[in-house]
Amino acid sequence: MSKENLSIVKIGGNVIEDTEALSQFLEGFSKLKGKKILVHGGGKRATHIASKLGITSNMVNGRRITDANTLDVITMVYGGLVNKNIVAKLQGLNTDAIGLTGADINSIYSEKRPVKEIDYGFVGDVKKVNYKSINRLIEADFTPVFCAITHDKNGQLFNTNADTIASELAIGLSKLYHVELYYCFEKNGVLMSVDDDNSVIDYMDTGTYESLKHDGVFHDGMLPKLENSYYALESGVSRVFIGNPTVISNKNQKFTTLYL
């Protein structure tokens, strides 16, 4: 029997900061047919609020060094401010959203990132996605909205990159569904030249990815996004798309499709 479709959509921090773009995105998301999950970041907002509180943000390889004070900030910002505003907006669009951290219904279990050259503090690497429990919400016609927080089932919350949350959810749920994973951010897709929004790479297989990576075409946050994407494709996710927030509702435009 063929599997039902499930769309998992991740929205990044730059879009969350742009009220107009966020509203447009949420409208498109609420109209998206079929079963779906939203994952949101919010790194920019966390950095802004941390700085107001006199807490300096320190990112290494695209990941936030998360000490105890920073963990408090990200819990308030991701799990509270950003998540609940998105859920409320979706409710206003008649989408029955339920906001979750990875601790809720024990949905995403993680372990502290091992200390090698760098100690990331309270940053968790995902070890298990409880896809059966998440599916109970989906089956009940709720739309889960995940923030970038996981837990160790021992009372400890962890900060986990939102792109990783999206790919791990996609991998877990691909056991039950035909999963399409969308990474939505402020650009039109993966670009040949990061300053030229018209230079979208339409299709990218693993070979092209490796050679462009070698040529230095990808920087900063794009590197973990692509690593997560190919890992998801290798682990059973059907398709990965990277594009601007309208990619979920309008396929007559530029965006990037990744494949193995």
Q: For binding to ligand X2W (CB under 6 A), which residues are involved?
A: 12-13, 41-43, 46, 63-64, 74, 123, 148, 159-162
Q: At what angle do helices 206-214 and 222-234 cross, to 10 degrees?
A: 160
User: With respect to ligand X2W, which residue has the nearer C-beta, 148 or 179?
Assistant: 148
The only residue of 220, 234, 250, 253 in contact with ligand ADP, by rule CB under 6 A: 220
CA dihedral 141, 147, 153, 159 (to 10 degrees): 170
The only residue of 126, 138, 222, 248 in contact with ligand ADP, by rule CB under 6 A: 222
User: With respect to ligand ADP, which residue has the nearer C-beta, 73 or 138?
Assistant: 73
* 187 part of the interface to ligand ADP, by CB under 6 A: yes
* 249 part of the interface to ligand ADP, by CB under 6 A: no
* 182 part of the interface to ligand ADP, by CB under 6 A: no
Give which of 76, 72, 73, 70 is closest to 58, Cα–Cα: 70
Q: How many CB atoms lie within 10 A of CB 133?
A: 12
In the complex, residue closest to ligand ADP by CB: 221
Q: Which does 191 bind (CB under 5 to 8 A by kind): ligand X2W, ligand ADP, none?
A: ligand ADP
How would you write 114-157 as a 3-class SS string?
Answer: CCCCCCCECEEEEEEECHHHHHHHHHCCCEEEECCEEECCCCCE
For residue 59, which amino acid is it?
Answer: M
Listing DSSP states for 174-198 in one string gives TTTSEEEEEEE-SSSSSBSSTT-TT
* 102 part of the interface to ligand ADP, by CB under 6 A: no
Q: Which residues bind ligand ADP (CB under 6 A)?
A: 12-14, 41, 185-187, 190-191, 194, 217-222, 225
